[in-house]
Structure 1
Amino acid sequence: MASGWHRDIAVLIARIGIGIIFVAHGWQKLNDMTISGVQAFFTSVNAPFPEITAYVVTYIEIIGGGLLILGALTPLVGLLLFSVMTGAFVLVHVENGIFVENGGYELVLALGVGALMIAAIGAGRISIDNFIPGLRSPA
């Protein structure tokens, strides 16, 4: 099992990179598309309860991405972000194949499994979780 500071730095870099992408996508939904635009899109892809889901997904991406960057509540946040990407995979991207240039699922797959991996292994010692009993990563 990998341990030590090299692991913590690698997890930190992964959390920051994945978190930035989630925050950017949530911010894009909030500001460029607007919530009403997200609701309309979610309606067009038959997302459940699009009036509510648009808000939930947008804020999970923004807040969850920020928490991922900070390494706070990563088991919960990672699962929530994985769930959002699973929805995007199933409802929007799977029928387009793998490549993102064709509207495919490669980005949502990478983000989803990355978030799931962080949920499973923990945020590392360079994180807020490291100061929360029960979430502390092993040395």
Structure 2
Amino acid sequence: MVKDVAALIGRIGIGIVFVAHGWQKWTEYGLAGTGASFEKMGVPLPSVSAAFAVTVELAGGLALIAGVALPIAGVLLAVDMLGAFFLVHISNGLLGEGGGELVVVLGAGALALGFNGGAYALDRVLFKNNKVLNPAAA
């Protein structure tokens, strides 16, 4: 039970951060502004990358919070953070201004919680016998 509560708290915390970042990209910068920012940073296909980041961070963050489609959300969020690390943050190192420590922690945390989301997740109810979306069924 303690592990399940810890997983729930972790999912909610990391999910909130992803939703906040996706929401900021969507509402403060807009897709065009996010794409322009990505272009300045040298991100390939900046408009497509912006749409991917906004969608994955919002939907994936909400999925983490709710505990639904956790393996899919975890993998997509980890891919999003891998892109952020290698395309934007790596030149700044891990620590300091623009460093990659946050994206490393968020990506690794999302991936881990995507496959170990605990008992308090909608996947456990909705996909009781599905070994992919409910690894506990395996």
Aligned-residue identity in percent: 43
Q: How many residues align?
A: 133
Deviations 1:27-73 (A, max 9, x none): 00011122111111111222222122211110110111001000000
The equivalent residue for 2:121 is 127
Structure 1: state its 5+ residue gaps: none
Q: What aligned pairs does 1:37-116 form with structure 2 within 5 A after superposition?
A: 37-99=33-95, 101-116=96-111
The RMSD of aligned alpha carbons is 1.4
Q: CA separation in 1, counterparts of 2:66 and 2:111? A: 16
Q: TM-score, normalised by structure 2?
A: 0.90
Letter in 2 for 1:20: I
With the length of structure 1 as denominator, give the TM-score of the two structures. Answer: 0.90
AA aligned opposite 2:102: L
**1: distance between equivalents of 2:84 and 2:97?**
15
1:15 aligns with 2:11: yes
Contact (CA 8 Å) 2:115, 2:135: kept in 1 or not?
A: no
Distance 1:50 1:116 in 2: 24
Give the Cα–Cα distance (whole angstroms) in 2 for the partners of residues 115 and 27 of structure 1.
18
Q: What is the CA–CA distance in structure 2 between the aligned matches of 1:60 and 1:112, rounded to whole Å? A: 12
